Amino acid sequence: MVPPPAGPPVRAPVRPRAVPLELLARPLDFLVAEHQRQKEMCLLLEAVADGREWGKGLAEHLVLFLTDEMALHRADEEDDLFDLMRRRCSRDDDIGSLIHRVWSPEQADEEVQLSTHLLDRLASNRTDCREAFAERAHRYVALLRLHVAYTNGILIPLGRRRLRSSDLAGLAKRMRRRRGLPSQIPG
């Protein structure tokens, strides 16, 4: 484990709880809850980048978040939600432009890959990359916060107005399947 930076003791970070899978029955609410968790993960990522938090377990937790969880989230939005919104929104909504402002898949993938690569190096006791990691992490956090604010403030409310109940049921089904859960909600 990399020794903590000089100064006050490094406290054990509080890790955000996973979003309850029951919320998948209400997929837009699930996405909003995931966004809240992402904001909490941004705080952890910043704490690691600034040297206020550290530990191999925390680095591994963040790598899992950046790789697995964000990949699921991007698929939920880009492969399903945004496609539905393109079909249901009117020309006046200018949904293509709105979606383009939310997230650049290439930029997001690059930031995740770079952050993950640097976290992997940090987790294996490499201290020579902290400054580069901090720079990349702060850039990624800014991008993710902008994505969350824009999606929660504009796209989710528009989705609530434009998507049909059948669209939301199909979205929930695909999101459940993506997570290895039965397509139908039990009960």
User: Which residue type sits at 44?
Assistant: L
Residue 111: closest CA among 66, 75, 150: 66
pLDDT attached to residue 9: 40
Contact present, 16 and 65 (Cβ < 8 Å): no
Residue 118: pLDDT band (50, 70, 90) is: low
The structure tokens listed for 137 are: 């992490």
- Listed in sequence order, the residues at least 6 apart from 44 whose beta carbon sits closer than 8 Å to its beta carbon are 13, 15, 16, 53, 58, 61, 62
Cα separation values, 50 from 43, 125, 126, Å = 10, 16, 16
| Distance from C-alpha of 180 to C-alpha of 3, rounded to nearest angstrom | 38
SS3 assignment, position 182: coil
Q: In terms of residues, how long is the chain? A: 187
Residue 116: pLDDT band (50, 70, 90) is: confident
Please report, rounded to a whole number, the percentage of residues in the chain having pLDDT higher than 90.
Answer: 42
Architecture of domain 22-178: Up-down Bundle (1.20)
Quote the pTM value: 0.83
Q: Is residue 83 pLDDT above 60, yes or no?
A: yes
Contact present, 114 and 63 (Cβ < 8 Å): no
The structure tokens listed for 79 are: 């492969």
Summarize the confidence of residues 147-172 as an average pLDDT: 96
| Distance from C-alpha of 116 to C-alpha of 173, rounded to nearest angstrom | 30
pLDDT tens digits, one per residue of 43-74: 988 988 888 877 777 877 888 888 888 889 98
Residue 186: pLDDT band (50, 70, 90) is: low
Cα separation values, 92 from 5, 54, 84, 89, 96, Å = 53, 48, 16, 8, 11
* Domain parsing of the chain, residue ranges: 22-178
- Listed in sequence order, the residues at least 6 apart from 64 whose beta carbon sits closer than 8 Å to its beta carbon are none
